[in-house]
Chain A
Amino acid sequence: MSDDTVAAVEAEEEALVARARAGDEAALDAVVGLHYRSVYEMAYRVLGEPELAADATQDTFVKAINALDRFRGESSLRTWLLRIATNTARSVGRRKTSRREVELVPETQAATGGSDPEQETFVRSEAERAARALQELPEKQRLAVSFRVYQGLSHREIGEVLGSSEGAARVNYHLGLKRLRELLA
Chain B
Amino acid sequence: MNMGCEFFADALLERAAGVLEPERSARLDAHLADCEECGEALRTIAALKAAPLEVPAGLEDRVRSAVREAARPVAPERAGGVISPQRRWRGRWRPWAVPLAAAAAAVGIWLGVQAPDTSDVDQAPDLVAFEEYDPYGDWPADGLFIADQPVLSELSVEELEYLLRELES
Tell me the A residues contacting B by CB distance below 8 Å: 20, 23, 25, 28-29, 31-33, 36-37, 40-41, 44, 50, 54, 57-59, 61-63, 65-75, 80, 83-84, 87-88, 90-91, 94-95, 106-112, 123-124, 126-131, 134, 145, 148-150, 152, 174, 177-178, 180-181, 184-185
Contacts and interface: CB of A to CB of B under 8 A. Distances in A.
A180 B62 contact: no
13 contacts: A25-B71, A29-B67, A40-B59, A54-B59, A63-B125, A67-B86, A67-B124, A84-B124, A88-B131, A94-B129, A107-B53, A128-B51, A149-B49
B121 A70 contact: yes
B129 A91 contact: yes
Tell me what chain B mostly uses at the interface: helix, strand, loop, or mixed: helix
Question: Interface size for chain B: under 10, 10 to 19, 20 to 34, or 35 or more residues?
Answer: 35 or more
Given A54-B59, A84-B125, A149 B48 contact: yes
A131 B48 contact: yes
A69 B130 CA distance: 18
B35 interface: no
Interface of B: 1, 9, 13, 16-17, 40-41, 43-45, 47-56, 59-60, 62-64, 66-68, 70-73, 85-86, 121-132
